[in-house]
Each structure stands twice: as structure tokens, then as C-alpha cells.
Amino acid sequence: MSTASTPRATAGNLCLGSAPDSWGVWFAEDEHQVPYTRFLDELVQAGYRWLELGPYGYLPVDPRRLADELTARGLQVSGGTVFGALHRPEQWDEMLAGARRVAELTAAAGAHHLVFIPPLYRDEKTGSFTESPELTAAQWDLVGGAADRLGKILLEEFDVRLVVHPHADSHIQTQPEIERFLNASDSRYANLCLDTGHVAYGRGDNLDLIRRYAERIGYVHIKQMDAEILAQVEAEDLPFSEAVRRGVCVEPPAGVPNPADIVAALSELDAELFVIVEQDLYPCAPEVPLPIAVRTREYLNGAGLSGTRRPNR
């Protein structure tokens, strides 16, 4: 097993970054979150050069102001993030407008990936169910086509590539659901943001997905889940928000999947990929994220993952 004390050869096709999520940021505005300036300053202190934009509105949405903040710190953007429902045709116009808004800012920042997260069927703060945890056959029939349509628009208008992100408490969570989405969508327009922690949360096999769907992985979020808390999630039917409060997301090398194994598998792919650290910490004390971010970056550097080279698109 590779560890930080036994470095691997550098995975030259992978580029390491982080995200506001690793600083406990889930929302554009929230009293429990650090100001964006502190996040950016500490990101640099932790040794990162690349970042994902996070929830729209947390970082400045004026392109010039955002560019000034990033340039002053020597930071670059790997991609943007947006939530949206692919199974609700009545919300298409609203979803498209939101995706265009984020894609425009993403492109202005020089990035070419939009991470698309399905809506959660449980409220992020209360854990109450907001809709059924399972899509109907008719709703599933809509998902792939909607992703392709959205991805085509974003590619043609902004040169931004859509990567769909499996998420706990969403309809694209388990491995069968991930595979169903991939089999229903067109690789020209919609691919996968492999989130290793959420795949593990849904009891999926990350290495199997990397092996069998290598050509569909366009972007990566790397995180690990505590196996004991995952057992609590199943036994107590916990919402993801409560699992996070209990500490389900852990720093490497703890948790599943083994991050060194993920880096090794990704390094063998014929693709250049951003690998973005996400450790869900909301809510957390302001002093918590920075030392975790430093240790995580040091561990992943030791596993062969660095942030010195920008992937080709």
C-alpha cells in the first residue's frame, strides 16, 4: 500500500486541487461558514494552486472581481458547480438558466468543467424527505436525454463540459444508478464526475467504475468515508447531513476507499484529469479546515498526486 512516507512516482496525468466544501462551505451564504477571503487565503497556505468554485455566490460572481482575487493569490479554477434536476421537465428553463449562469462564470475564469449535482431527496439541514428516494421508470427515461441536451448547450455556448456528480441522498447515488445514467447518456455531452466518497457512501466500487467506465470519467472528487459511520447510516436510516455531522467524511489515509489505490488506478488512464479534494465538514469551527487541508495535500502528494500541471481539455 502506498503511503505518504513511501512516495509513488508522480501521476503526471492528474492535477490536484481543492474546493470550498473542504472548508465547510455548502451554501452561498451561511452563518456557519468562513468568509470567502479566509478560504482563499488558507487554500494557498495549505499548498493548493487549483480550486473549484463551489456554490454559486460564495465566491465573487463578477468575473473581474473573481479574477482579481484569484490572481492576487496565484490561484486557478478547475471548474464550477451547479445543482439541478434532470428528471423534472417543468423545471428545465430554471435549471438551464442556473447552469448557464455558472458556466459563464466558469468559462470566464478559464475553466472547462461544470460539476452537475442532482437534487437531494432529503433536506440538507433537517434531513426530512422532500420527494421519493426512487425515480419512476418515466422519470429515469428523462434523465439521460436531459443531461445530453444540457451538456450540448454548455459545450456549444461556453466550451464547458458537463460532468454529473453522484451524491448521497440523491437519485444518482448507488452504482446501479450511476451505471444507468451513463448507459442512458451520450459521452459527447455528459460524463461522470467520479466522487469516490459518495460512491462509497452508496456502497459502490470505485475501482470497478474506473476500470469499466474509464472513458466516461471526466473529472474527479476524491474523498473517503468512515466505515463505522456508514454502518450507522444504514442501521439508523440517517440523512447525509447527519452523517456529516457525525464525521462520516474523514481525511486520508483513513476511510474508504483507500485514496492511494484511487490515485494509482486513475494514473493508469489515458486521460488527463483534475482530482479535487472534498471533505464535507459543514458545519465546523473556523480553525478546523486548514490543518486537515495541509495533511490531506501532503498525503496525496506522497501518493503521487500533485497540482503543478493543468490537464488538457
Choose among 302, 159, 168: nearest CA to 230: 168
CA separation, residue 303 to residues 43, 45, 46, 259 (Å): 20, 20, 17, 8
CA separation, residue 227 to residues 15, 55, 230, 253 (Å): 27, 28, 5, 13
Q: Tell me, which fold does domain 14-302 have in CATH?
A: TIM Barrel (3.20.20)
Q: Please answer whether residues 274 and 113 qualify as being in contact, where contact means their C-beta atoms are separated by less than 8 angstroms.
A: yes
* Average pLDDT of the segment spanning 79-98: 96
Q: Please answer whether residues 223 and 249 qualify as being in contact, where contact means their C-beta atoms are separated by less than 8 angstroms.
A: yes
The model's confidence at residue 181, banded by pLDDT at 50, 70 and 90, is very high
Choose among 40, 28, 5, 62: nearest CA to 252: 5
Q: Domain extents for the chain?
A: 14-302
β-strand pairing of 217-222 with 190-195: parallel
Q: What is the pLDDT of residue 313?
A: 65
Q: What is the mean pLDDT of the chain?
A: 94
Share of the chain above pLDDT 70, in %: 96
Share of the chain above pLDDT 90, in %: 92
Q: Each residue of 237-274: pLDDT tens digit? A: 999 999 999 999 999 999 999 999 999 999 999 999 99
Q: Each residue of 191-223: pLDDT tens digit? A: 999 999 999 999 999 999 999 999 999 999 999
Q: What is the pLDDT of residue 312?
A: 66
Q: Please answer whether residues 80 and 133 qualify as being in contact, where contact means their C-beta atoms are separated by less than 8 angstroms.
A: no
Q: Please answer whether residues 179 and 203 qualify as being in contact, where contact means their C-beta atoms are separated by less than 8 angstroms.
A: no
User: pTM of the full predicted structure?
Assistant: 0.94
Name the residue with higher pLDDT: 29 or 123. Answer: 29
The number of beta carbons lying within 10 Å of the beta carbon of residue 47 is 16
Residue 116's beta-bridge partner residues?
Answer: 82, 164
